[in-house]
Structure 1
C-alpha cells in the first residue's frame, strides 16, 4: 500500500517540476545567437515575470496548503525558481554553453516579483487603521488653568503646522512646555497666543461654519522611521517627548 503522505505530496511535486520546466524552457534562450544576447536576456525576464504571474494564479489551486502562509509560499516559490535554474544549467551543460552562459540564469529572477508584490499588498491591506485621539479647539470651553501647573520643569519644543488647510508650506514655531501639561492644553494656549501675536495671519482652528477642526499630533522623525502618534490628553512625560522635540500638528477629518 503506497505511503499516504507521499501520495499527498505528489501534486505539489508535479506542480513544482512543471513550472520549473517552464522556467528552464525560457532559459533555453541563453543558448541562442550571442549577437542578440541582451535582447534575449530581456525577453526571458519578461517570460519569467509572466510565468510568475501564472504561478501566482495556479499555486493556490494545485498546492493550497503550501501557499496558504507567506513563509511556506515564499519557500515554495524559491524552490520552484531554483529548480528552474537547475534545469537551465543542466541544459547549458548538455549543450556545451555552461562555462560562458551560466550568468544568463539570473534572467529568471523576475519570477519572484509577482508573489512578493501580491504578498506586500496583502500585508498593506491588513494593516489596522491608526488608532489615535483627535484634539478639537474648545470653541465654548474654558482655558486650562496654568497657575495649577508645576512650572519648574520646562521643555522647549517646536510645533510644525499649516496655518490654513490650503496652506502649501508648514510653519515652524518654538514654544515652552511645562512637562506636566497636557499636549492638547499647550496647543490651545499656543494657538491663542500665536493668533494674538499675528492677527493678520492666524492659525485657522475652525471651518467657515465655525465647526472646529480635528487635530492629530505626531512626533517628527526621519523618513524611514514609523510615524509615532501622540495623545493630546497626556502630558509631555507620558508622550515620551524630550527637549527640542518637533511636534507635527495636522488637521484630520
Structure 2
C-alpha cells in the first residue's frame, strides 16, 4: 500500500469514528436534555477550530521536534482546562452523572480538531516522518486536551469513596418541633444543603439555602432543616424513612470552594462553629445504608 493511500485510509477511519461519536453525543443530549443542540454543535465547532490553530507550527519545520511539539502539548493541556471549566458551567450536577455524554463530546471536539489540524500542518510543513510527510503523528500533540476531563472523573471517583464512618445521624422519630429559642438573629449565617429527596438518586440533587447560628448543634439544625422543608413541600418531601419505616442513616460533609472540591467530614454532635462551617458553605447530606 502506498504511503499516501495508508494515510487516507487512517484519515477516513478517524473521520467515521468522530462522526459516530458526534451522533452519539447529539442523541444523548436530546435524550437527557442537557443543553440545546445548537449550543452543543457550537461547542464542537469552536473547540475543533481552536485545536486547528496550532497546526500553524508546521511552518517551523524541523524545529517542531521536540521543542514545539511539547509546546503544543502544553497549549492543549491548558485548552483542556478551559474546556473542562466550560462544561462544568454548562452542565452543573449533570457532569458527574452523565460521563458518557462528556466523553463523547470531548472525543468529538478532539477528533474534528485532529481532522482539521492534520491537513493544515502537513500543508505548511516539509517534515518527513518515516517514508512520508503525510501522517497523523503531529496531531498526537493535541491528546493532552483530554487529560483534565479524565482527571476530573478520576478525582470524583476517588472522592466518592467515603471516609471511615464512626457514627451516623438518624432522624429522631419521636422528637417534638425544633425551636431555636436562644438564637441570635443578628448573627445568623447562610448555609447551602445539597441532598437527594429520594434515595434512588436518579435525579440531580436539590440545593437549598438555610440560616443557622454558630452555636447550634449540627444534628439539631439539620433536623429543623428537614422539618421546615417537608412542611413547605408536603407532596414531595425529603424522605427520611425507608419502605419498612426504618430511619435512614445520614452522613454529612462540606465541600470547600476550590478546583479540587475537597471534602471535610461534619460531626453532627458538634456545633456549626466547631465544624468550622462558614457563610455559604456547601453541605452534602447523604443517606448511608448499614450492612449487618
Q: TM-score, normalised by structure 1?
A: 0.46
Q: Which has the larger radius of gyration?
A: 1
Length-normalised TM-score, structure 2? 0.41
